[in-house]
């Protein structure tokens, strides 16, 4: 039995008989099937508590209102952007070290 590992390995069929003959001697790799299953687009999230100076929180809320955003969403966006920056810096530093 031949295993299909990429969708591009499946030919176009002229009719159902040709398709049935193909699948009689071929099967899909389970990893290909698992990758094609639609995952939920909603990710789980964890609630945390952050303590802010009241003036800082007021400033954040004011900025968010000016941008027509929920202040909590804006904070999450800022954290995600900063996290990406930090990870990129870390990758650059480790590639510089390995290049020495």
Structural domain boundaries, residue 23? 2-36
**The pairing of beta strand 26-28 with beta strand 2-4:** parallel
- One domain for residues 31 and 61: no
Instruction: Say if 13 falls within a structural domain.
Output: yes
Instruction: Say if 49 falls within a structural domain.
Output: no
Helix then strand then coil, % of the chain, to nearest 5: 60, 5, 35
pLDDT in tens, 16-29: 999 999 999 998 88
31 near 41, Cβ under 8 Å? no
**Mean pLDDT, the chain, integer:** 86
Domain count, the chain: 2
Give the predicted TM-score (pTM) of the model: 0.52
pLDDT in tens, 68-92: 889 999 999 999 999 999 988 887 8
């Amino acid at each position: 039995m031949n295993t299909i590992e990429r969708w591009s390995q499946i030919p176009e069929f002229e009719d159902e008989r040709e398709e049935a003959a193909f699948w009689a001697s071929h099967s899909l790799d389970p990893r290909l099937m698992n990758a094609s299953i639609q995952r939920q687009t909603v990710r789980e999230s964890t609630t945390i508590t952050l303590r802010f100076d009241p003036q800082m929180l007021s400033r954040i809320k004011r900025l968010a209102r000016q941008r027509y955003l929920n202040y909590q969403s804006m904070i999450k966006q800022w954290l995600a952007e900063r996290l990406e920056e930090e990870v990129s810096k870390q990758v650059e530093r480790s590639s510089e070290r390995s290049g020495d």
